[in-house]
Amino acid sequence: MNDSSALDRLGGRGGNAGGGGGKGAAVAIRTEALTKHYDRGLVQALRGVTVALPRGEFVAVVGPSGSGKSTFLNLIGTLDAPSGGRVWLDGDDIARLPAQDVRRRKVGFVFQFHNLIPNLTLQENVEVPLAGSGLRRSERRARAAALLERVGLGDRARHRANRVSGGERQRAAVARALINQPPIVLADEPTGNLDSRTGAQVLGLLTEVHRERGTLLVVVTHNPEIAAAADRVLRFADGRVQEDGT
Amino acid sequence: MVLQNLTRRRLRSFFAVLGVAIGIAAVVALVSLARGVRDEVDDVMMRLRGDIIVKQRDTPIPESSRVDESVVAALREVEGVAQVSGYTVQLYVFGGVRVPIYGFAPQEPISARLPLAAGRRIEPDGLREVMLGVEAARNLQLDVGQKVLVPPSDPSGIELEVVGVFDSGSRYQDIGCLLHLRTAQALARSPGQVMMCAVDVVDGADETEVVARLQERFPALQIVLARDFITDFDDYRLLRQFAWAVSALAAVIGAIGVLNTMLMSVAERTREIGMLLALGWSRARVLRMIMAEGLIVSVVGGLAGIGLGVLLVQLVARWLEELPIVGGHDLLLFGQALTLSIGLGLLGSLLPAIKASRLSPVEALRYE
């Protein structure tokens, strides 16, 4: 485990007396002794993970199946609650933040399966996270159209999700994850269902946006090429970070 | 998005709408028919039977009431009473057509109130004369001058001559016919007795006070205002209760239809709902989305049900042509039906909506 070196690179643990993440630091996400167990403790998915993930970094999370990668991603994205430990987001303990606000404003998710709504158009799917955002409809449309253009789907915007290819759906899912302009993008095997060419396109898209916007990009992957392209690789084994390096 | 969710499984949404529509149609049709019966009987009471009804107390149905004719004369002596008519009503079936037969003394003003369409009225000594309502004349294919045997097909029956046809404007009356009271009593084998008495009060008199006065004088009789009579009418009360019970059952089935559809829809979209939560949708927004879907099903089903109910009433009225049924539906009933439908939709979608809103995003995204 190499947690301390990562923290050192970020200028120390960034903690305070209360164990906070240190507001104003470049750290976007920091976890402290994060654990997660299921079935009354019979299954230990995470066994105390402490890492700091700064803004602008592209982090690949790798490891064998069942090593806790996806669980880690779910916990830092507030999709699930930890059994123990803490997660700090921009210096705030996320246990004290409304999960829906974190998901809406701070985090964009891309999953292995696109989960687009099949009978909505790509344009409508990309607009879904903006429902109830208070933005005017014209603005929502413009924003979604610009993103679809950005991911190379400008001419497919009016096509229903069930009428386009798998690669196009996943690119639309990337656009949907970015519609709220989140500072953090979490992707769980985003190319897992795609052929290598389409997978490379989707990865290229994620990394371009990451560079342009300076987002923290965390990608859970089995793909060594993605790991090779990342700034940093967290290698998980048995619910722990076994290796943390570039 | 709510509409698009519903159109995704068109057939299933259609059946959910149909379930609500059938429930609401049953409510509209049955309540309309019950009201129709009430309105018709009300109409008869007001047109034919004066201001106050006098009958034997506690008879299961009005037809089994018997009042001695001597009471008719005694009623006339009470202060505030202008006119009293004793009458009988019997029901005979002529070749499958049911015909109510009213027996009135021909000299009484109530007989004279009926507007004549053809022929003349029954003479004071016209014991073998009958006046037909226009509907009865048409149903029985009889005209002035022809003879009719009452009871029909009974060799011991009384042969009567059709002397006139009346057109009261009320279907309930116009499907019937009018006999001399003595003839009607002979047919009913109850000489010297009438079924009920219709009392007219003098102009300006307080009807309620007259009722109280009559009741004090004749405690053994049941004396009610003609306009309240229908509400004391056991048959009507039963009919109304039956209408509401069947309606409630139909409505519950409609609600279960919505519940089932929405539960299936939520189960089928578990991953999608998980994704919506992952994208920052609040649980309240997910709840509202499912409730809105149920609401649309119920509003569309409710409107369709109202249309279907009106159609049903018309079909029933046409099918049972000899029955004096006209649907008593109005905007208020439609409003009540639509409100009920919306209530059912919200009730039926509440459980699925709560279920959806409580999904764990992680669990939901893992759902196969």
Average pLDDT of chain A?
A: 84
Nearest CA in chain B to A125: B1
Nearest alpha carbon to residue B161 among B153, B172, B150, B173: B150
Among A100, A120, A124, whose Cβ lies nearest the Cβ of B280? A100
Q: Give the model's confidence band at A235: pLDDT under 50 very low, under 70 low, under 90 confident, else very high.
A: very high
State the nearest Cα–Cα gap between B367 and chain A, in angstroms: 12
pLDDT at B180: 92
Q: Which residues of B touch A74 (CB under 8 A)?
A: 362
pLDDT at A15: 35
Residue B307 CB partners (closer than 8 Å, separation 6+): none
Q: Which residues of A touch B358 (CB under 8 A)?
A: none
Q: pLDDT at residue A19 above 50? A: no
> Do residues B13 and B297 make contact, with C-beta atoms less than 8 angstroms apart?
yes
Q: Give the model's confidence band at B232: pLDDT under 50 very low, under 70 low, under 90 confident, else very high.
A: low
Question: In this complex, do A79 and B362 lie within 8 Å of one another by their Cβ atoms?
Answer: yes
Residue to mutate among B10, B12, B279, with most A CBs inside 10 A, is B279
Strands B129-133 and B177-180: antiparallel
Among B4, B361, B365, whose Cβ lies nearest the Cβ of A119? B4
Q: pLDDT at residue B6 above 80? A: no
State the nearest Cα–Cα gap between B356 and chain A, in angstroms: 15
The pLDDT tens digits of the residues spanning A92-114 come to: 998 898 888 888 888 999 988 87
Average pLDDT (A134-156) is 89
Report the range of poorest mean pLDDT among A4-13, A25-34, B63-72, B100-109. Answer: A4-13
Question: In this complex, do B361 and A115 lie within 8 Å of one another by their Cβ atoms?
Answer: no
Q: Give the model's confidence band at B234: pLDDT under 50 very low, under 70 low, under 90 confident, else very high.
A: low
State the nearest Cα–Cα gap between B272 and chain A, in angstroms: 6
Among B1, B278, B280, whose Cβ lies nearest the Cβ of A120? B1
Percentage, residues of chain B above pLDDT 70: 89
The pLDDT tens digits of the residues spanning B120-176 come to: 999 989 999 999 999 899 988 999 999 998 888 788 889 999 999 998 877 777 888
Instruction: Provide ipTM, 2 decimals.
Output: 0.80
What residue type is B81 in one-letter code? V
State the nearest Cα–Cα gap between A135 and chain B, in angstroms: 15
> Do residues B5 and B294 make contact, with C-beta atoms less than 8 angstroms apart?
no
Cα A69 from Cα A242, distance rounded (Å): 12
The pLDDT tens digits of the residues spanning B248-263 come to: 887 787 778 778 888 8
- Chain B interface residues facing chain A, Cβ-Cβ under 8 Å? 1, 4, 7-8, 271-272, 274-283, 285, 360-362, 365
DSSP structure class, residue A121? B
Question: In this complex, do A104 and B279 lie within 8 Å of one another by their Cβ atoms?
Answer: yes
Q: When comparing pLDDT for B60 and B274, which is higher?
A: B274
pLDDT at A42: 82
Q: pLDDT at residue A12 above 70? A: no
Question: In this complex, do B271 and A119 lie within 8 Å of one another by their Cβ atoms?
Answer: no
pLDDT at B49: 61
The β-bridge partners of B53 are B198, B224
Residue to mutate among A38, A100, A174, with most B CBs inside 10 A, is A100
* Four-residue CA torsion sign, B319, B322, B323, B324: positive
Strands A43-54 and A27-38: antiparallel
Residue to mutate among B275, B288, B293, B359, with most A CBs inside 10 A, is B275
Q: Give the model's confidence band at B280: pLDDT under 50 very low, under 70 low, under 90 confident, else very high.
A: confident
* A241 token code pair: 């970070």
> Do residues A10 and A25 make contact, with C-beta atoms less than 8 angstroms apart?
yes
Q: Give the model's confidence band at A4: pLDDT under 50 very low, under 70 low, under 90 confident, else very high.
A: very low
Q: pLDDT at residue A184 above 90? A: yes
> Do residues A35 and A46 make contact, with C-beta atoms less than 8 angstroms apart?
yes
Residue A209 CB partners (closer than 8 Å, separation 6+): A150, A174, A178, A185, A215, A217
Residue to mutate among A46, A117, A124, A178, with most B CBs inside 10 A, is A117
Q: Give the model's confidence band at B14: pLDDT under 50 very low, under 70 low, under 90 confident, else very high.
A: confident
Q: Give the model's confidence band at B48: pLDDT under 50 very low, under 70 low, under 90 confident, else very high.
A: low
Question: In this complex, do B278 and A119 lie within 8 Å of one another by their Cβ atoms?
Answer: no
pLDDT at A9: 36
Q: pLDDT at residue A199 above 70? A: yes
The β-bridge partners of A121 are A160
Cα B224 from Cα B214, distance rounded (Å): 10
Among A113, A128, A180, whose Cβ lies nearest the Cβ of B276? A128
Question: In this complex, do B283 and A100 lie within 8 Å of one another by their Cβ atoms?
Answer: yes
Question: In this complex, do B365 and A131 lie within 8 Å of one another by their Cβ atoms?
Answer: no
Average pLDDT (A41-51) is 89
This prediction's pTM = 0.66
Query: Which residue spans within chain B are E strands per DSSP?
Result: 52-56, 67-68, 81-94, 97-104, 116-119, 129-133, 147-150, 158-166, 177-180, 193-194, 196-201, 221-225
pLDDT at B236: 66
Average pLDDT (A190-203) is 83
pLDDT at B44: 57
**Tokens 């906070």 identify what position?**
A20
Helix axes A196-213, A166-178, angle to 10 degrees: 10
- Chain A interface residues facing chain B, Cβ-Cβ under 8 Å? 74, 77, 79-80, 100-101, 103-105, 109, 111, 113, 115, 117-120, 124, 128-129, 131-132, 176, 180
Q: Which residues of B touch A115 (CB under 8 A)?
A: 271-272, 274-275, 365
Report the range of poorest mean pLDDT among A85-94, B89-98, B105-114, B134-143. Answer: B105-114
Q: Which residues of A touch B281 (CB under 8 A)?
A: 100, 129, 131-132
Q: When comparing pLDDT for B89 and A37, which is higher?
A: A37
Residue B25 CB partners (closer than 8 Å, separation 6+): B250, B304, B305, B306, B308, B309, B312
Q: pLDDT at residue B320 above 80? A: no
Q: When comparing pLDDT for B230 and A81, which is higher?
A: A81
The pLDDT tens digits of the residues spanning A23-44 come to: 444 778 999 999 999 888 788 8
Q: Which residues of A touch B365 (CB under 8 A)?
A: 79, 111, 115
Q: pLDDT at residue B5 above 70? A: yes
B326 CB-side CA count, 13 A: 9
Among B4, B275, B281, whose Cβ lies nearest the Cβ of A115? B275
